[in-house]
Amino acid sequence: METRRVRIGIDTGGTFTDVVAVDEATGRTTTTKTPSTPADPAEGFITGVRKVLDLMGLSGDAVTAVSHGTTVATNQLLEGRLDRIGFITTEGYESVLEIARQSVPDGYGNSYFWAKPPRIVPADLVRAVRGRLDSRGEEVRPFDEDDARAAARSLRDAGVGTIGVCFLHSYANDAHERRMLEILREEHPDAVVSISSQVLREYREYERSVTTLVDAAVKLRVGAYVDNISARLEEIAPGVPFYVMKSNGGVLSAAEVVHQPITTMLSGPAAGALGAALVAGAAGFDRVLTCDGGGTSTDVTVVIDGEPALTTEGSVGDYPSKIPMIDVVTVGAGGGSIAWLSPESTLKVGPRSAGADPGPMCYPSGGNQPTVTDAHVALGRIPPHLLGGEIPLSVEAARAGLEQLGAKLDLDLERTATGILEVSAWNQANALRQVTVARGLDVRDFTLTTFGGSGSLLACRLMDVLGLPRTLVPPDPGNLSAFGLLTVDVRNDHVQTAIQRHADLDLERVRTVYAELETRARQALDGEGFARDRQRVQRTADLRYGGQAFEVRVPVTDGELDDAAVDQASQDFHAAHRMLYGYDFAEDPRQAVEWVNLRVSGIGPIRRPDLVELPPASGPGTDRAVTGTRPVFFDDDWTDTPTYDRPRLAPGDVVHGPAVIEEFGSTVPVHPGFRATVDAHGNLLLERDAR
């Protein structure tokens, strides 16, 4: 008998750890969830692996690979749990962190006083070293080894065990930084060190400095976490390949990711966006908005032609991180987001969250403040339990909390709960506008794809607010991020700043830089076990008009790099600039085009799971899926509403609202005036009802 082989994807969220295992022979998936364990996230991970294997009746010998999305690095930064960090930089640039950028959130008109974000390194832990390179990497002043040793010893004697090194123009020549690293290993061998030329070979000293320091700050914790999981996974499935999701939409082996931990910043949201792109593409939609609703937050992004948008202008908390990442906007509007009153007695929802512990008021050991989940429970839009009954919910506790909040607003329970959901829906809608309208896209041209445990609860309301034509809800949406981990290729990104005007472009220099980047990309893929004939490389470049402060990324041919190829990149830049900003200077010879950064992505493709079509219905009608009725508050009144068991629905079935469609990990309220149609792959397609 043939041995069953499975791959497992595990996404650790703020409330639940989601697990998906795919049978490599049949393409069928098995899913489950387990509560996250914030005190030791590895515990929830291992519990999830054991749980899904037990459900499938398999042992660890059947596992061929495990992919993981983690929030360890993100949470460490958001919660400010940073150890003392030292910063070594070029003499004369000691104040780069203090100068930072003059960027005022929400604009000057909305803030009478604005303070810059706190420094990631205090001024007394900054050390300067003499030595200087110019922008082309030529040495202007030699590296001063006496300064370097003094800096290393000073930080060692101060008890600083985490250090970031960023020298001026080291993106063009890393010789000084590599020598500084050697000296640190000699003088302070126990230190955790990141150097900018290994983290980000790109100009802009402030962003490169902070990105390097963030990498150093999370390196120890991410390394310990990954090593802990690797050791415990070895006990279950010895020798199994273990991959960690990166922010750029690829995965990397656990052994390698500990050396570049900053790449895991948006690990979970990136996997969800890729999973949604695959499912929506198979359903026939190429312009997609993804909405990943979890317990703490909602993450949204835009997908065009199967590819999520990428950016290098992201940040985590107060800290800019110029690593390639899927362009995700996060808003504190998850199921656990707390409803509260501002000093002006205005109802607010989030960003504070009850998380997994203590959780919403309706949880068995819940908190003392009402949340979005409490509002859904009190209005009957979700059942009085989660995970098929594993976690009972107290409707009475939710109602009590909402009534107490409503008394302060002079609102009854229904209006209070509806108000909470309305604020949450508008928070999500504004995030969706940021990834569309703010980037020159018409939100009405897109299909919304909702997933995550709470992602589909407000889908009908979002369609009304944004004028969206339809919403796609994949099967088992609560586990789509974990499924997305199984669709992801191994990917590494490399960048080199090489500023030149397009009119004077040194094509040989461009070819040389791209060749060096491709060599590094292929060597990295060699280390990941990919044969050269399986490897792919993608070229892109960041271009701008002369005088602009920021760039637009465009593709560059993977074939011969000749005059026609670079001219095409320039034309693509004009078109992309016009789409983003509404204008371009393609016909104005006075506006020079500049090439700024050259980029190469190395890709090691993996086999994606098949999307299995469902068998046809055994008979007409949807009565086979009805499980009962319960009162649900929609619009202005309570309605006796049928509830449906989603696994019993079949392709072609149509459920007219009002209705509530339930499954193990999520719930889809179908509002009056809407309908849900089941497609061949089991997706629910929410549309306005023409009846």
- Tell me the pLDDT tens digit for each residue of 224-242: 999 999 999 999 999 999 9
Q: Is 483 helix (H, G, I), strand (E, B) or coil?
A: helix
* pLDDT score, position 100: 79
Q: Which of 41-45, 307-311, 427-431 has the highest mean pLDDT?
A: 427-431
- Bigger pLDDT: 510 vs 113: 510
* pLDDT score, position 424: 94
- Tell me the pLDDT tens digit for each residue of 272-331: 888 999 999 999 999 999 999 887 788 899 999 888 888 877 776 677 788 888 888 888
* pLDDT score, position 113: 52
Range name among 75-79, 192-196, 472-476 with the lowest pLDDT average: 75-79
- Tell me the pLDDT tens digit for each residue of 492-514: 999 999 999 999 999 999 999 99
Mean pLDDT of 115-144: 90
Range name among 30-39, 335-344, 568-577 with the lowest pLDDT average: 30-39
- Tell me the pLDDT tens digit for each residue of 248-276: 888 888 888 888 898 888 777 788 888 99
Mean pLDDT of 377-385: 93
Mean pLDDT of 404-430: 95
The band of 112, judged by pLDDT with boundaries at 50, 70 and 90, is very low
The band of 614, judged by pLDDT with boundaries at 50, 70 and 90, is confident
Nearest to 330 by CA among 413, 247, 416, 444: 247
- Tell me the pLDDT tens digit for each residue of 527-552: 888 999 999 999 999 999 998 988 99
Binning the chain into helix, strand and coil, the percentages to the nearest 5 are 35, 30, 35
The band of 438, judged by pLDDT with boundaries at 50, 70 and 90, is confident
Helix (H) or strand (E) segment spanning residue 688: strand 684-688
- Bigger pLDDT: 491 vs 323: 491
* pLDDT score, position 1: 39
pLDDT surpassing 50 at residue 109? no
Q: Average pLDDT over the chain, rounded to whole? A: 89
* pLDDT score, position 119: 82
Q: How far apart are CA 471 and CA 87, in angstroms?
A: 48
Q: How far apart are CA 610 and CA 590, in angstroms?
A: 52
Range name among 293-302, 527-536, 554-563, 646-655 with the lowest pLDDT average: 293-302
Helix (H) or strand (E) segment spanning residue 244: strand 242-245
C-beta separation of 321 from 263 below 8 A: no
Q: Which residues contact 537 (CB under 8 A, 6 or more apart)?
A: 518, 521, 522, 558, 600, 601, 602, 603
C-beta separation of 205 from 133 below 8 A: no
Domains of the chain, first to last: 6-77+223-243 (3.30.420.40), 80-221 (3.40.50), 337-423 (no CATH), 491-604 (no CATH), 623-688 (no CATH)
- The two tokens of residue 401 are 């909390």
- Tell me the pLDDT tens digit for each residue of 58-82: 999 999 999 998 878 877 776 677 8
Mean pLDDT of 43-66: 92
The band of 110, judged by pLDDT with boundaries at 50, 70 and 90, is very low
pTM (two decimals): 0.82
Q: Which residues contact 30 (CB under 8 A, 6 or more apart)?
A: 20, 21, 23, 52, 55, 56
C-beta separation of 506 from 500 below 8 A: yes
Mean pLDDT of 91-99: 91
Q: How far apart are CA 256 and CA 275, in angstroms?
A: 24
Q: How far apart are CA 315 and CA 321, in angstroms?
A: 5
Q: Where are the alpha helices (DSSP H) in 117-246?
A: 145-157, 175-187, 196-199, 205-236
Mean pLDDT of 468-476: 95
Q: Where on the phi/psi map is residue 63: left (φ > 0), alpha (ψ -120 to 50), or beta?
A: beta
pLDDT surpassing 80 at residue 620? no
